[in-house]
Structure 1
Amino acid sequence: MSPGFGLAMAVATMGGIGRLRPAPGSWGSALVLPAMLLGPLACLGLGLALALAGLWAIDRILGEDRTADPGWVVVDEGAGQALALAALPAGAGLLGAALAFLLFRLLDILKPGPVGWAERRHGALGVMLDDVLAGAIAALLLLALRAAFPEMPL
């Protein structure tokens, strides 16, 4: 076992959330939803912090198996969901949170275009990248919706 393995497991599972069943990725995404109350800049910072911490943690836990993407690793979902939340305006309501959650999860599950390409990468970067891209695309879609429908109560 490598040094820091316990801490790496705690980060990768987001404090054990990744062990919840069913749908650990949805639980990991839901865990960061309250961050939207802190505003878009805080969500962006959280997404970047989780991405960096996730790269470190996943690198530690993968060991020699560089092709693995364990389902209980959910820090990648947390990072992607936080990035999607960063596109919501300060004071966004439940509709905004639900839309950010649904868009991110849909992109994470369906893996269109660049999200699918990223999922086929190996190692810690491959594990993190598909969710970060799904979060970024969800954020762009939310920003486009806000621009097209400024009266929409997000």
Structure 2
Amino acid sequence: MGSPLPAVVEVWAAGLRRRELIDWGGVAFRLLGVTVVEPPAFAAGRARLRTVTPVVLKGSGRDEWGVRQTRQAWLMPTDSEFPAYFEGNLRRKAETLGLDPEISLERITWVGARRSYETGKGKKPGALIEVELRGAPEVLRALWSWGLGQANSAGFGWVAA
């Protein structure tokens, strides 16, 4: 579990430490320990992040003439629209947290295989990625904790610790 809000992480950790077992979507998990992992410092304002779950991201759904063709325009990291929509997603996350939205995608350094997962509202396609980002250290720490792309609370876009 993760959150870009340290207070949320501390409350989760405190609550979980009092439990021996949790029911997560019908699966029983026995808790052997709870450790809060601090994000890296990112003091230089640069980060290389690699996800352990696929990144999902919606695009415009428009064709080359600007006509909307679909509302479910899932983008892959190799699609031409991906970098701009990905950067916009990062900026919205920073703004949501009241942080400096000047975050930039320097480059995508690796893309994994395409994967699709059923989420109850249809399939969401995505891919694991590794990216190089530049921004304020506190924004990079928040993104490390929050995840990349959309649907992070559903388990998409989690960054490797």
Give the TM bin, normalised by the shorter chain: under 0.3
TM-score, reference length from structure 1: 0.25
Structure with more helix by fraction: 1
TM-score, reference length from structure 2: 0.24
Structure with more strand by fraction: 2
